[in-house]
Chain A
Amino acid sequence: MKGYFKQLAFAFIGTIAFACNQDDQSGASKTLQPRLPDSITSQKAEPEPNMFASVDVSPMDMSYFPVDYPKLKMANIKVAPPVARVIYSRPQLARRPLFNGIIKYGEPWRLGANEASEIQFYQPVRIQGKKINPGRYTIYGIPQPETWTIVLNSNVDTWGLKQDTTRDVARFEIPVVTNGASLEYFTMVFEKAENGANLVIAWADVVARLPLEF
């Protein structure tokens, strides 16, 4: 059993090292991790209401490809424009079951929370052989146990609960795998791939990858 704990300890150190690797403009990075609430409704992101704009329980985030593009740009004088970025809100499991709890098989899901998630391509890309023009799109998914349908839609700046399917630009079927991990926050991020990049879509123990070629 000793070996097990040793491994676990190393894993935790690894996790912490990665987690601390974030930029913080203030230098004070010792926020306490709040305890998980019993339900998402009991979660408060902020102790006092903000009279201008309250902080959401499912905070927004964005990911670029190349990964950390704004930081690359900071470090290099000449850097090509980015390929893509995704802007999405990050709900947390908060002890709820993901499937047939938060998400239902066969029903459209906004791949996030609040506003519809947005993907922007700065150059043309190909997805499963289909050419996608540069521009901003809404991205949503229709999960099934073995595959997810990922949809790009031209109806941008909209709330995520209602999709206008007449403005679907393209639909792609991608496999979904379970990896045994448990990711508390919904996550979308790009990773380098052989012919371009993958948009990695992960939550709980489920991971799906949308391949982009460029």
Chain B
Amino acid sequence: MTLKKNILSLTAGLFVSIALLAQAQLPGMDKSPLDVCYYPLRYPNLKVQETVKEPPVARVLYSRPKKEGRPVFGGLVEYGKLWRLGANEATEIEFYRPVTIGGKKIPKGRYTLYAIVQEKDWTFIINRETDVWGTFKYDAAKDLVRVDAPVEQLNEPVEFLAMTFEKSDSGIDLVVAWEQTKVALPIAL
């Protein structure tokens, strides 16, 4: 009787393990979740509300690491080193129409966006090699343009890396903010 019971519970346990293991192969939640930002802002919402007719201008897809009390710039993100501008996959920027960045015409399409961070300014890099992880595949020969942008100080700290677009005189700025730092990449339309 006890043997039978033991076998039964063992079998049940085995099934639970199999179920859990099968589940384990599916991806868990990332601690630096992916996010998207469109210009016009909230474009997908505007589209279903039928308040926009024309295609979007740009979107950025990036993972959002969290500060968690760590020093970010000059710490987690080392000065002078290439940074994926996010976490996991390198940040991707897509233009739905030709744009001008740093005086250079960028055809519509998907690009990888990197940055080299310094205390006073950042260098943004638009590169044509897409679907890449981190900075490991970086090849400067595939750069389209490099642009320097000054660092602005924020009064309030930002916990998760954040990106948004803002309207500017010449087009839009891609605004990147984390810790107490804000930097804008001007995109002329």
Contacts and interface: CB of A to CB of B under 8 A. Distances in A.
B33 A60 contact: yes
A175 interface: no
Contacts of A200: 26
B44 A181 contact: no
Interface string B151-162: 000001011101
Contacts of A62: 34, 61, 89
- State the majority secondary structure of interface residues on B: mixed
B163 A63 contact: no
Contacts of A116: 44
B142 to A, nearest CB: 13
Bin chain B's interface residue count. 35 or more
Contact of B134 (A11, A25, A114): A25
Q: Which secondary structure dominates where chain A touches chain B?
A: mixed
A59 B34 contact: yes
Contacts of A160: 44
B44 A158 contact: yes
B24 interface: yes
B168 to A, nearest CB: 16
Contacts of B87: 23-26
Contact of A61 (B25, B30, B45): B30
B31 to A, nearest CB: 5
Given A73-B133, A181-B22, 13 more contacts: A19-B28, A25-B65, A25-B84, A25-B87, A50-B162, A51-B156, A52-B163, A63-B27, A64-B131, A115-B36, A157-B43, A157-B55, A157-B59
30 contacts: A3-B10, A4-B13, A8-B16, A11-B21, A14-B24, A15-B20, A18-B25, A23-B133, A24-B32, A24-B87, A25-B87, A26-B76, A28-B70, A31-B31, A50-B160, A51-B177, A52-B158, A53-B37, A53-B163, A56-B33, A59-B33, A59-B34, A70-B90, A73-B131, A74-B132, A74-B136, A116-B44, A179-B22, A180-B15, A202-B26
